[in-house]
Amino acid sequence: MARIPNFIHNTDIGQNFLIDRSIVDFMIDRAEITPEDRILEIGPGEGILTEGLLSTDCYGVCTVELDTRLKHTIEMLAIKDSRLHPLWGDAVQFDYENGLPWMPAKVIANLPYHITTPLMWAFLEKLAPHGLEYMLLMVQLESAQRITSAEGHHERSPLGITVEAMGTSAIIRNVPPSAFRPQPRVNSCIIEIKMVKNKALACDKTWRGLLARSFAQRRKTLINNWISGYPGINREKALEILERNELKTTARAEELSLDKWRRLSQETEFSLNPKAQKETGI
């Protein structure tokens, strides 16, 4: 795909286009694309990764792009290859359950870095229950570290814990700024996520609410976050929960293992009634 002449990149929406074809080749090889694979790509830009995906024998590729200045470029690819389905809109707000021609098995993309976290939640909530099994994503290194951090690490996050509960995640390659135009001011990497279980977990409001409230203020202990986050939990009740789950009174959210989160999610005190869900936005 040729460079678009005089194109002014909008870095406010993460337009750092991938230009290194060796990175594209690596991603295509790593994804092990089959003729049955329906693939979703976010932010195709000038189409370098899109072309790579279409060079395989995949079933089809669906792209979602916000910047309609790229419409001619991407739709020319669709004219050449009917397996490409270009769609336009905000990837975070996109209606994935109704707006796609089919549900993807794989998401392969260079994600806009400033919306990585909400995009990932959208994938887990809207696509995973309908067959999404694999993601190979170019993201900011710091975002990948939050997703892959194990218990006890200061980068541990609700998104990372949920991904761990649904499958596996790993940083598989660092990518230099020179692989993009314009060059970002941050380090990048490719993260691989395989989802093999608990496909509807991200839709579980009790699970999401528990993680959100427990991580609300990282410097606070679980006790203090629960007291401020759950109207029905006072200090005495919080201590009882900690004792039942063999947790210290000084425990913080980043310290807990996945097994502890699973056990806590079964505590009735964390189950939100519909009114509380609506009021808290969970």
Nearest to 142 by CA among 116, 164, 107, 161: 116
Q: CB–CB of 63/53 below 8 Å?
A: no
pLDDT at 250: 97
Q: Exposed, middle or buried: residue 11 (CB in 10 Å: 0-12, 13-18, 19+)?
A: middle
- Residue type at 155 in one-letter notation: E
In the block, tokens 């690596």 appear at 26
Q: For the chain, what is the mean pLDDT?
A: 93
Question: For residue 277, what pLDDT band results from cuts at 50, 70 and 90?
Answer: very low
Q: Which CATH superfamily is domain 11-200 in?
A: Vaccinia Virus protein VP39 (3.40.50.150)
Q: Is the dihedral of CA 91, 97, 102, 103 positive or negative?
A: positive
Coil/strand/helix, residue 181: strand
**Number of Cα atoms under 13 Å in the Cβ half of residue 117:** 13
pLDDT over 90 at 13, yes or no: no
In 3-state terms, the chain is what percent helix, strand and coil (to 5)? 45, 15, 40
pLDDT at 245: 97
For residue range 209-241, what is the model confidence (pLDDT) as tens digits? 999 999 999 999 999 999 999 999 999 999 999
| CATH architecture for the domain at 204-280 | Orthogonal Bundle (1.10)
The Cα–Cα gap between 242 and 258 comes to 15
pLDDT at 15: 74
The Cα–Cα gap between 1 and 22 comes to 14
pLDDT at 275: 41
Question: Which of the two residues, 143 and 281, has the higher pLDDT score?
Answer: 143
- The domain spans of the chain are 11-200, 204-280
Cis amide bond preceding 182, omega within 30: yes
Whole-model pTM? 0.92
Reading the block at residue 173, the tokens are 């390659």
**E strands, the chain, in order:** 17-18, 38-42, 60-65, 84-88, 106-110, 134-140, 167-175, 180-181, 188-195
β 180-181/17-18 pair status:
antiparallel
